[in-house]
Structures are given as C-alpha cells and as structure tokens.
Amino acid sequence: MLKSLLSPLVTSNTRAKLLLRFFSNPDSSSYMRELANEFSVSTNSVREELNHLSEAKLLTTFKNGREVRYKASPKHPLFNELVSIAKKTLGIDHILEHIVQQLGELKLALLIDDYAIGKDSGILDLVLVGNLDQARLAELVARTEVLIQRKVRTLCLTQKEFEGLRKMLAQRPQLILWTNGSNLSTNQDEKKK
C-alpha cells in the first residue's frame, strides 16, 4: 500500500519509508543505523536520503551523545499535509473514522508499538479504554482491516485496568489517536514524572 500511494510522488522506496517513518509520529526520532537495519538497506542509502530530506528542511537533526538523530520538522510548510498523508498511508484515518468514533463510551485510543513509531509492520496494535461493545468492535475491526489491508489487534481495557497497566504501557512506543478529554495518564504523562 505504501508503494501504491507514494510511488507516483516519491520514486525512492527508502525515501518513502523515511517520510512515512518520521511523519506518522512526528514526535519520534531515529538515527541512521537504526533506520538502515529496520529497512534492511545499506547505511549509505539511508544517509543519502536523510541528507536530501534534511537539505529540503523536512527533517531536523540533533545530537544525542555520539548519535545524530533525525526528526520531522514541524516548521516545514508541508508538515501538516505530510502528517496527514502518512496517516492515510498507514490507515490511521480509517481507524479513527471506522473504529474509534463508533464505539460508544470510549475514553482513550492509543496506537502502540511499531506503527506508533512509523514502522509499517502490517499489524496495528490498539489499546482502547472504556466500556465497549465487543461485538460491534469486532465487526468494525473486520471492515477496517479490509479497507487498510493490514491486521488490527485490539486490547480493550476498563479505566481501572488501564491504570493498573499504565506503567507497563508507558514503556512502549505509543501515539494518542483519540481521547475524550478524561484524565487518563499516557506515556507522555509518565515521562514527565
């Protein structure tokens, strides 16, 4: 799906993967060797594309010890559009439309693990907090999987169960997809403590 959406616009598969990686969760950062290993390509290939994206001011860099880390640049004029394209490419827009907004008493929806850092592994992991209709959820997940051509795994928790697992979940990459404004602690909250 990544190729079919971005191929006409971005001819380098590595560049398309980098754009997806950085703009699907613009708060995350990565370094060159990590990306080369993840994409199973040479560090030279990744370095060249990172340089192009940095020169275009789509990415910013910062040092973390000896590592040079790269991150999406929120100051770029196309930032919001690229975030939207990345979410559409991963199917996150369909998840929001077809699952999260139709579940009833949903308090929080988190995307965790691979997709939370922009890694297109084919399995989206969702943590859903609230009182949910499990039969309706299964129906919505099945329809969404067909639309986005990816597997969707859900972990449904009550607010009390979520609070009990909060510290463990805080250790995993996560992206808030939806919240009703309730005072549920998330990974970002945990890191501030």
Flag whether pLDDT at 1 surpasses 80: no
CATH 1.10.10.10 for domain 2-84: yes
Dist. CA 30–CA 68, nearest whole Å:
8
Dist. CA 59–CA 61, nearest whole Å:
7
For the segment 145-193, what is each residue's pLDDT rounded down to a tens digit?
A: 887 888 999 999 999 999 999 999 999 988 888 887 655 555 444 444 4
Flag whether pLDDT at 128 surpasses 90: yes
pLDDT at 158: 92
Structure tokens at 192: 């501030």
Share of the chain above pLDDT 70, in %: 87
**Mean pLDDT along residues 26-32:** 86
Give the containing element (helix H, strand E) for 92. helix 92-98
Give the CATH H-level superfamily of domain 91-192.
Answer: Beta Polymerase, domain 2 (3.30.460.10)
DSSP string, 15-32: HHHHHHHHHHSTT-EEEH
pLDDT at 132: 87
Structure tokens at 158: 């009550």
Q: Which residues, in sequence order, are bridge partners of residue 153?
A: 125
Q: Do domains 2-84 and 91-192 have the same CATH topology?
A: no
The pTM (predicted TM-score) of the whole model is 0.64
Dist. CA 95–CA 86, nearest whole Å:
13
Flag whether pLDDT at 74 surpasses 90: yes
Domain residues of the chain, as ranges?
2-84, 91-192
- Please report how many Cα atoms fall inside a 13 Å half-sphere around the Cα of residue 38, on the Cβ side: 19
CB 130 within 8 A of CB 108: yes
Flag whether pLDDT at 27 surpasses 50: yes
The residue to which tokens 């403590």 are assigned: 193
